[in-house]
Structures are given as structure tokens and as C-alpha cells.
Structure 1
Amino acid sequence: MSDKSLASFIERTKNQDRGQGLFELENERMLEVNLSGSVWTKMGSMVGYHGQVKFTREGIMSQGLGNLLKKAVSGEGAKLTRAEGNGVVYLADEGKKVVIVKLQNEALVVNGNDILAFEEHITYNIKMMKKVAAMMSGGLFNVRLEGSGLIAFTTHYDPVTLRVTPGHNIITDPNATVAWSGNLEPTFRKDVSLKTFVGRGSGESIQMEFAGDGFVVIQPYEEVYMQHTTG
């Protein structure tokens, strides 16, 4: 018979420092940040912390006038919080799985809703895809991350990475698209022949198409992440 005592529960679920550095998977759905300095985190993702840590919302002008205007127009976007100090911070997002990758002078574009955390010295730019704004309510935000350092993003269930090669384009559902290599620039298109039975009032299917040489990460889940305008 399994031990159902409170002491056994505490022992089974207690946090463990595995000595893996700044970003560590406490479990597959929770990120442990061993903080000594500062990192960027998705706003609202902090579920616990200890130590001397200060949380500051991204300054309204920290990404320049262009991003300020995009946020003002949309009312939404990819919102970030800086965690600064010395301590341990635990991050999670709706129970989604956490993926940690290390950029080595590389660029990665992540769906704005799926970014969880990244090192402060990584250059980032929040971007709204203008071409899709007319197709979706509020458009689609993503975050371009470039440089060297750790980033963490989330996926519903296990992600799959598809290779994009010249002459072999990859077409994805925007609601299932998590990330793609920084050298790719997806295009959007409507396909009126692909009717959907639920969830698309227009009766049109919106798709992302990736061409060139790179990769795209998808998840086995259609996430309704389109940001709606306030009003």
C-alpha cells in the first residue's frame, strides 16, 4: 500500500535544487529560476519565490515608440515583468509544459503567449504581424529573441519541430504554432476551401506558411491566443 501520509506527500513534492544553473525544470510544468541578477518573465507567470526579489513591469517606453504605439492600438500584447535580485523564483503558465533552450548567437521567434522567461542580456523585440491583423481580432504578437543565453517557453503537451527546407514549405495553424527560427518570415493566407465546423465564424481557415531554410515548432493543441482590443 502506498504511503498517503502528509509527511510522504511533502517528501514527494518538495522542491529540489538539481544544480542545473539559472534555469532549471522543477518539474515538466514549472520553471525554477535561480536568480542572481535579473531576468525577463511573462507577466503573471510567477507562482512563488523566496529571497530578496523585486518584480517590475516592463517600462512603457523600454522597447521604443513603435512598440508603445502597437500596445496602445491593440490594448494587449506580450507583457513582460523583470525579476531582479537574489533568490529563487518559480514560474508556470496554465499548467503548460516548459521548454528550456540555449541560444548561441542565434535568433528565435516565439509566440507572445508562449514566452515564459529569458535572460536580460538577450535582445528582444515585440512585434505584431500587420498582415494578419485584418484576419484575426487584434492581430498576432510574437517576440523575437536574439543573442546568446537561456530562454524558456511553454507548450500544450509535447511539441514537435518541423524542418523547413527550400522547396519544402511548412504550413501550420496559427493557433498551434509556438516558435520558429529567426531567419524565417511566415506569410499568412486564407483558404476558403477548408471550412471549419466550430470556432471560426467566418468559415475561412487562416494558415501560416514558412519557406526557406529553418524550422517551426508546433503543439498538438489549438490555443486561442489572439489578443482582443479593449472596449
Structure 2
Amino acid sequence: MRSELFSAENLEKESAQPGLRLQNHKLLKAELNGEFMARVGSMVAYQGQVNFEALGSGGIGKFLKQKLTGEGVPLMRVSGRGDVFLAENAADIHLIDLEHGDGLSINGANVLAFDSTLNYDIKLVKGVGMASNAGLFNCVFTGAGRIAVTTKGTPVVLTVDQPTYVDPQAAICWSASLQTGYHRAEQMGLGTLLGRSTGERFTMSFAGQGFVVVQPSEEPPGGLAGAAQGQQQSGGLLGNLLGD
């Protein structure tokens, strides 16, 4: 049988070391010898002896926070030995390696998988009010390990060394050390141009030293820690939980 489909670039990529790596820019391959965490529903194929355990029903700690913040796509623990392939609606996949002392704040909708050595929690995005269309809560990752994130299209990485403003629905992740806030469009001169609305109701602001990853797409919040409906219903209880 002959076809360009069977060309070398489409064949499974092998590596001697276990871990998360790119099969291509839309497929993540996990060469598994232990465990890692992944988004429920992201597995598209696997080989070997692999177990999948849903983690959305604990009722305490992070999992309680996920539920109260409108969490719609819980995590699963993937363990065993073999090869696991993951994807998310043909989105582009990018790998980020964190070292001790690093902190990454990321929209939960863009988390695909991560090493179980990483610590994560759901935190309030400080300075971003309820009126914003952006997710009020983000996943914050610390520790040492690799995380796979998704973007819709090729992103731009902005170095924050001056005041930086981003559409909240296009902001994927940023250095957790940055100071965040938000501005109404009218404050930025974007509310109306020649009497017409620009469609930009709010803009997130970033200050400090670090980076912001921005995708060329604006989508409603959602995912691991971002569904707006749950955020707006939980009020003070969420504030107490997520302020821990």
C-alpha cells in the first residue's frame, strides 16, 4: 500500500526518555512510565498498559474549587506504561518547562496536560472584576515540570517591560509574578470610535517583569477554571476558598 499519508513526518516519533513531547503541532505524545495529569476527553489514542482515573469528584481542596468556579472539564490521572496521544479540537499545542521558583498563571481552558510533579491551584485573578468577560479564576502552576498548553492559532509572546494591555479573551497565560488589573474600554479611549462601539468592553492590564502569551482568537472563558456562570453565582464563599 502506498500513500503520502505514510510519509516519515506522519509516523509515530520515538524517544528513549519518558515524558510529554510533541508528535506534531496539534498532537501531544506522552511516553508514559509513571503518571501525568491530562484534560478529560483529550485522549485520542494509546498503546500499552494505561489507566485513566477521573479526578473531578473529590469534593475537597482543588476539586471543590473547580466545581464551585464552574469547572466543566475535570482532570484525569493517566498512569502505567505505554504511549498516549492527546489533542483538543485540533488546537495548536505548545510545551512550557517550569523550574523551581517559576510561576505560570493560565486560563484553565488552555491546559492540556502536565507532569504530576507540578503543583497547581485555582486562584482569583487579582484586579479583574466580575464585570469582565474574562475568566475570573486561573490555574496557577509552580514547581518543576512540563506543561502542555493549547492556543487557537499561532500566538505572540509579549515581554512585559512597559504597561501592557490585552483583550482578556485572548490572554492565554502569563508570569504569575505580574500585577494584573482591568480597564473599561472608555478609560482607554476604545469605547467608541466615530460614534461606533469597538466591541472591546474591557482590557486586562499587566505590569512588572515577565511575559504574556496572546492567541489570535477571542473565545469565552471556560475549561478547568473559567466558566463565567459559576463564577458569578458563588460570591463570598468562592472568595474565601480561592483566597487561601
Q: TM-score range by the shorter chain?
A: 0.7 to 0.9
Q: Summarize the Cα distance change of 1:17–1:212 in structure 2 as closer, same or farther, 3 Å threshold.
A: same
Which contiguous aligned blocks of 4+ residues in structure 1 show a shift greater than 6 angstroms? none
Please list, as runs of the form range in 1=range in 2, the aligned pairs for 1:65-214 lying within 5 A after superposition: 68=64, 70-76=65-71, 79-105=74-100, 106-129=102-125, 132=128, 134-136=130-132, 139-165=135-161, 168-192=162-186, 193-195=189-191, 205-214=201-210
Change (3 A) 1:130 1:77: farther
Paired with 1:169 and 1:16, the residues of 2 have a C-alpha distance of: 42
Q: Distance in 2 between matches of 1:169 and 1:91?
A: 36
Match of 1:229 in 2: 229
Please provide the CA RMSD for this pair. 2.9
Structure 1 residue 131 displacement after superposition = 5.6
How big is each residue's C-alpha offset from its partner over 1:114-168, in whole Å with a ceiling of 9 and x where there is no partner? 1111110110002344764621469433211101111110111212111112xx1
Structure 2 gap segments, 5+ residues each: 234-244
Mapped partners of 1:57, 1:138: distance in 2: 27
CA contact 2:177–2:210 (8 Å) conserved in 1 = yes
Q: How many residues align?
A: 220
Give the conservation status (yes or no) of the 8 Å contact 2:99–2:144: yes
Per the normalisation by structure 2, the TM-score is 0.78
Give the TM-score normalised by the residue count of structure 1: 0.82
Say which structure, 1 or 2, has more relative contact order (CA 8 Å, 6+ apart).
2
SS for the counterpart of 2:229 is: coil
Q: Give the drift of 1:84.
A: 1.1
The answer to whether the aligner puts 1:217 opposite 2:213 as a matched pair is yes
The change in CA–CA distance for 1:204 and 1:8 in structure 2 (over 3 A counts) is closer
Deviation at 1:8, TM superposition (A): 4.2
For 2:75 and 2:23, locate their aligned partners in 1 and report how far apart those are by CA, in whole Å. Answer: 22
Q: Secondary structure at the match of 1:220?
A: coil
Q: Which moved more, 1:219-228 or 1:79-88?
A: 219-228
Question: What letter matches 2:163 in structure 1?
Answer: N
Structure 1 alignment gaps of length 5 or more: none
Instruction: Name the SS for the 1:174 alignment partner.
Output: coil
Report the residue type matching 1:94 in the other structure: N
